[in-house]
A and B are shown apart, each in its own frame.
Chain A
Amino acid sequence: MTDWLDALIQGVLLGGLYALFAAGLSLMFGVMRLVNLAHGDLIVLAAFAILTVASTFGLDPFAAVVLAIPILFVVGFVLQHVLLNRTLGRDLLPPLLVTFGLSIIIQNGLLQVFSADSQRLRAGAIETASIPLGGGIAVGVVPLLTLMSAIAVIVFLNFIFYRTPVGRAFRATSDDLEVAQLMGVDVNRIFAVAMGLAFVVIAIAALYLGLRANFDPTIGPARLLYAFEAVIIGGLGSFWGTLAGGIVLGVAQTIGARIDPEWQILAGHLAFLVVLAVRPRGLFPRAQD
């Protein structure tokens, strides 16, 4: 019994990580209908960026991410403005091709610069610290921080989207690109801001990716898959749905692993397929459209 409860709790915490992977993807799709095949690789790239900042300045990863965030915002803004905006239009294929190419470029670029060795973000004692909950169950501090950060990110994104003028512009642009321009919205700029924001989320996701496990330049595509699954389980268009999707995926994986360690990944994919079969539009689809 304790075993299962423990699996459930660990699964929920793991779901926080998947929600962080998914939130950025959901943001990009929500605002600019961009399916970003390089999302996983961008998270890995950000993890290397944090690693580099941390080792160059001798910083804790938590401090390094604070430094990396403004840099990554600018990188995202520029990437969207000079490259991705040119690919968006009626045709869905160009952005897919370009982000697929980007994925390959990032992987190979990272291999060149950092080699295929696996890396880890080192944060000292906090990495192994845990809080006993009684009954033989304990939660790791880092997994707990992951989930809390996911919740904080979602609260923050909801605030931006529903309480600020730029958030209104995001939603209006996503509703009707042409009429948004009639309102004075510079669509290229608003997309670039959205991508900058997505990169901030990517930076936070990368922090926990690197704190919780080893990473190397090739693990991006698998993270992309988890992010996709979480977004689709949750239902497009709601950040809280993304958290729910991440948790469903995380719980399925840890329960699966408890049954048989080899089933961890498979159980996650199965949960995804079941949700897709039962609720094709996800758990929390958007009311409109």
Chain B
Amino acid sequence: MHLLETNKLTAFYGDFQALYGIDMLLDNGETIAIIGANGAGKSTFLKSVAGLIRGAADSVLLDGTPIGARPAADIVKLGIALVPEGRRLFPSLTVEENLLIGGYGRKAAGPWTLDRVYSLFPILRERRSSAPSTLSGGQQQMVAIGRALMSNPRVLLCDEISLGLAPIVIADIYAALPQIKVEGSSVVLVEQDIVKAMKVADRVYCFQEGRLSLAGPPRDLTREQIHRAYFGS
């Protein structure tokens, strides 16, 4: 049995079909990366897993349990947390309140507490009472990740956590990944930076226009294969 599995997952925005039958696997302790061009459906996939877009119950399985039809507020309690695209911090909450609300629905005790998040991202401790809008982009991304961790997720979904950040800041954020994995989260990364994705992922999935165009461990994939899967033709 896999930790997380999607079965012929489809997703719609009204009449528009954004995903066509995505099959994906994630096992305990793994990191997988999803790559693909703009509009390929990467964010839609994460939103479907997180319950913001609901589908058939058995299109998403967590530990073999069908959860595809459950609402987002239930999904996070079951152990899947999403770091949304664009960070989307709560502007009227302080940094610390943003972190605290991340643990709002949590049921079981787990490794992640305010203190543990602050030791992962020490700068946040200094900025704990600030409004998120006064933080740098990198610091905001740290809050978004910390907020998701506060639910003690077994699966952490990250949507373009490096977008718009300077390379040195990206390195800082990626440096947190091993610690996050040590604490027991498996990770799904959506990443525009293919090189970065190949470096950290156990397996890479490439989306193209709502379909899976390629999947496999980075070492098995050639540049040509990836190029074709990414751009088509």
A168 contacts partner chain B, Cβ-Cβ < 8 Å: yes
Q: Are B105 and A184 in contact (CB under 8 A)?
A: yes
Q: Are A183 and B88 in contact (CB under 8 A)?
A: no
Task: Give the CA-CA distance A175 to B147 in the complex, in Å.
Answer: 15
Chain B residues numbered 47-70 whose CB sits less than 8 Å from any CB in chain A: 50-52
Instruction: Name which residue of chain A comes closest to B100, CB basis.
Output: A168
Task: Give the CA-CA distance A185 to B151 in the complex, in Å.
Answer: 12
B102 contacts partner chain A, Cβ-Cβ < 8 Å: yes
Highest count of chain B CB atoms <10 Å: which of A175, A178, A179, A183? A183
B106 contacts partner chain A, Cβ-Cβ < 8 Å: yes
Q: Are B52 and A181 in contact (CB under 8 A)?
A: yes
Q: Are A187 and B73 in contact (CB under 8 A)?
A: yes
Contacts of A174 in B (CB 8 A): 92
Q: Are A175 and B91 in contact (CB under 8 A)?
A: yes
Interface code B133-156, partner A: CB below 8 Å = 1, 0 otherwise? Answer: 100000000000001000100000
Q: Are B104 and A168 in contact (CB under 8 A)?
A: yes
Q: Are A176 and B90 in contact (CB under 8 A)?
A: yes
Interface code B82-109, partner A: CB below 8 Å = 1, 0 otherwise? Answer: 1010001011110001001110111000
Interface code A168-211, partner B: CB below 8 Å = 1, 0 otherwise? Answer: 11011011101111111111000000000000000000000000
Q: Are B73 and A185 in contact (CB under 8 A)?
A: yes
Q: Are B92 and A175 in contact (CB under 8 A)?
A: yes
Interface code A148-174, partner B: CB below 8 Å = 1, 0 otherwise? Answer: 000000000000000001001101101
Task: Give the CA-CA distance A181 to B47 in the complex, in Å.
Answer: 12
Instruction: Name which residue of chain A comes closest to B76, CB basis.
Output: A184
B71 contacts partner chain A, Cβ-Cβ < 8 Å: yes
Contacts of B77 in A (CB 8 A): 184
Contact pick for B73, options A171, A181, A289, CB 8 Å: A181
Interface size of B by CB at 8 A reads 27
Interface code B24-60, partner A: CB below 8 Å = 1, 0 otherwise? Answer: 0000000000000000000000000011100000000
Chain A: interface secondary structure?
helix
B189 contacts partner chain A, Cβ-Cβ < 8 Å: no
A-B contacts counted at CB < 8 A amount to: 73
Highest count of chain A CB atoms <10 Å: which of B72, B82, B84, B151? B72
B81 contacts partner chain A, Cβ-Cβ < 8 Å: yes
Q: Are A186 and B92 in contact (CB under 8 A)?
A: no
Q: Are B104 and A288 in contact (CB under 8 A)?
A: no
Q: Are B92 and A183 in contact (CB under 8 A)?
A: no
Q: Are A186 and B100 in contact (CB under 8 A)?
A: no
Q: Are B101 and A181 in contact (CB under 8 A)?
A: no
Contacts of B151 in A (CB 8 A): 183-184
Q: Are A178 and B52 in contact (CB under 8 A)?
A: yes
Highest count of chain A CB atoms <10 Å: which of B52, B104, B131? B104
Contact pick for B92, options A165, A182, A288, CB 8 Å: A288
Q: Are A182 and B106 in contact (CB under 8 A)?
A: no
Contact A288/B133 with A165-B104, A175-B90 known, Cβ cut-off 8 Å: yes
Chain A residues numbered 230-289 whose CB sits less than 8 Å from any CB in chain B: 286-289
Contacts of B81 in A (CB 8 A): 182
Q: Are B91 and A182 in contact (CB under 8 A)?
A: no
Q: Are B82 and A184 in contact (CB under 8 A)?
A: no
Q: Are A171 and B90 in contact (CB under 8 A)?
A: yes
Q: Are B102 and A183 in contact (CB under 8 A)?
A: yes
Instruction: Name which residue of chain B comes closest to A167, CB basis.
Output: B97
Q: Are A289 and B91 in contact (CB under 8 A)?
A: yes
Instruction: Name which residue of chain A comes closest to B91, CB basis.
Output: A288
Task: Give the CA-CA distance A120 to B133 in the complex, in Å.
Answer: 51
Instruction: Name which residue of chain A comes closest to B52, CB basis.
Output: A178
Q: Are A179 and B84 in contact (CB under 8 A)?
A: yes
Task: Give the CA-CA distance A86 to B52 in the complex, in Å.
Answer: 18
Q: Are A183 and B104 in contact (CB under 8 A)?
A: yes
Contacts of B82 in A (CB 8 A): 182
Q: Shortest Cβ distance from A66 into chain B, in angstroms? A: 31
20 contacts between A and B (CB under 8 A): A165-B104, A168-B93, A172-B101, A175-B90, A176-B88, A179-B90, A180-B90, A181-B52, A181-B71, A181-B72, A182-B52, A182-B76, A182-B81, A183-B101, A183-B104, A183-B105, A184-B151, A185-B101, A186-B73, A288-B133
Query: Contact residues of A with B, CB < 8 Å?
Result: 165, 168-169, 171-172, 174-176, 178-187, 286-289
